[in-house]
């Protein structure tokens, strides 16, 4: 085995362990076979573990009592305006040092979002107060920085080369117990549709990922970072063998933009699309069974200038299949502003190649120009597949940490009404705010539940 790489040796060793475990009793494996010691992940973990850190964040929120805030109730009962209460929220997670010289750490946005204080603890016991460099809720990536010396960083692997069946190890701090490592394989690639919004291209693994692992490392057997552990699917809240990680290539691309400017600039084709259902395909006489059906093209948008039309069916981008509307959204959102998409479009039964350069999204409204109370929030029209579920409103695509809107609004919220006036589109939303109402009451859909938020 001397001619094989360390990764190949470990893979062969894991297979040998499986064979031995099936042939002998549990707990009776010999320390060596044929004079060769059994393979172990310990040498690799010894090098990797110092680069995986524990992150604890603290958020202070001002909470007002809606009963005491209601002017009618105060007038009726003669109640004074009650001062807001302060609620303290704490979050635990993990992170990965990716630049030892500059102290940059990759983690999940949901680990540090809105935090007033971020503390990083290394495996050697050192603790540092971290600086937030930037966050990207759409991909759930954040970058923080610590001033430590003699840090250990993980090299990034090319996650595009991952294959289903490759061995991986997940490292993090589950349940705040301390750093732990679990092993498994890549179960699937390019998983999508796992959250209500955002851009998704998840790695699925059966390596155990539990609460607290968020932001931790998913590494290959050579100790290279292939993904940032992000979420699980589980009926109980604990690992059920369905863990998901953000590919290192995507995380690195987002990180570079966050370090450079503090935010991610994304482009858009300027289209609305929907999934191709069998009924719609039959009605339009389309023989294809997959693709993103263009339902609307914004005038003077990149798509309009490239010649795209409503009724076009996008089936591929750069040779990669486009199976549905989410695929097309990912194709736009996961590429930098200014990138060119090479689309394969089916029109009237014929394949038409179309190249379109992504431009700044014209279908986004900034809260700063709508109303000062919405400063920091970005609003978008809901995609057709969401509206098809009977949800009519405008989505919140981004909320800047520390902004005025961040006190009560969050990415993924859907604004159904403004002062009891329906806002099914951005135009309706803009009109509802045009009069600059003195009181601003938003009806919000969040996590499948409706609620109201009064902005001061």
- Which one is catalytic: 56, 57, 140, 397? 140
- Which one is catalytic: 57, 94, 110, 180? 110
**140 assigned to active site:** yes
**60 assigned to active site:** no
Burial 400-419 (b: 16+ CB within 10 A, else e): bbebbbbbbbbbbbbbbbbe
**230 assigned to active site:** no
CB neighbours of 113 closer than 8 A, spacing ≥ 6? 135, 137, 142, 401
- Which one is catalytic: 57, 159, 197, 214? 214
Catalytic machinery residues = 110, 140, 214
């Amino acid at each position: 085995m001397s001619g094989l790489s360390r990764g190949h040796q470990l893979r062969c060793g894991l297979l040998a362990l499986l064979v031995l475990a099936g042939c002998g009793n549990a707990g009776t494996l010999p320390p060596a076979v044929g004079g060769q010691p059994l393979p172990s992940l310990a040498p690799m973990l010894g090098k990797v573990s110092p680069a995986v850190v524990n992150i604890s964040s603290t958020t202070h929120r001002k909470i007002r009592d809606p009963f005491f805030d209601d002017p009618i109730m105060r007038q009726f009962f003669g109640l004074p305006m009650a001062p807001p209460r302060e609620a303290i929220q704490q979050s635990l997670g993990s992170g990965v040092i990716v630049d030892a010289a500059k102290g940059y750490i990759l983690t999940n946005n949901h680990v540090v979002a809105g935090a007033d204080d971020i503390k990083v603890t290394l495996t050697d016991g050192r603790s540092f107060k971290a600086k937030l460099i930037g966050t990207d809720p759409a991909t759930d990536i954040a970058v923080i920085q610590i001033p430590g010396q003699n840090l250990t960083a993980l090299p990034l692997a090319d996650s595009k080369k991952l294959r289903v069946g490759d061995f991986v190890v997940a490292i993090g701090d589950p349940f705040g117990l301390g750093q732990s490592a679990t092993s498994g394989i890549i179960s699937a690639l390019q998983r999508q549709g796992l959250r209500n919004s955002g851009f998704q291209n998840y790695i699925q693994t059966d390596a155990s990922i539990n609460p607290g692992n968020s932001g931790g490392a998913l590494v290959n057997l050579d100790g290279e970072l292939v993904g940032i552990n992000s979420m699980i699917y589980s009926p109980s809240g604990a690992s059920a063998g369905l863990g998901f990680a953000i590919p290192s290539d995507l995380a690195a691309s987002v990180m570079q933009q966050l370090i450079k400017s503090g935010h991610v600039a994304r482009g858009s084709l300027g289209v609305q699309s929907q999934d191709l259902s069998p009924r719609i395909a039959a009605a339009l006489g389309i023989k294809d069974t997959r693709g993103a059906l263009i339902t609307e093209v914004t005038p003077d948008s990149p798509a309009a200038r490239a010649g795209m039309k409503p009724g076009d069916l996008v089936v591929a981008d750069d040779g990669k299949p486009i199976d549905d509307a989410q695929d097309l959204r990912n194709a736009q959102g996961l590429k930098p502003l200014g990138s060119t998409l090479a689309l394969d479009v089916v029109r009237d039964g014929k394949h038409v190649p179309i190249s379109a350069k992504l431009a700044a999204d014209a279908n986004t409204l900034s809260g700063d120009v709508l109303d000062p109370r919405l400063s920091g929030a970005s609003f978008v029209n809901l995609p057709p597949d969401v509206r098809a579920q009977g949800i009519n409103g405008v989505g919140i695509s981004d909320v800047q940490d520390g902004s005025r809107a961040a006190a009560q609004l969050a990415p993924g919220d859907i604004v159904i009404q403004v002062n009891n006036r329906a806002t099914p589109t951005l135009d309706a939303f803009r009109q509802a705010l045009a009069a600059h109402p003195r009181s601003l009451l938003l009806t919000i859909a969040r996590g499948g539940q409706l609620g109201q938020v009064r902005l001061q």
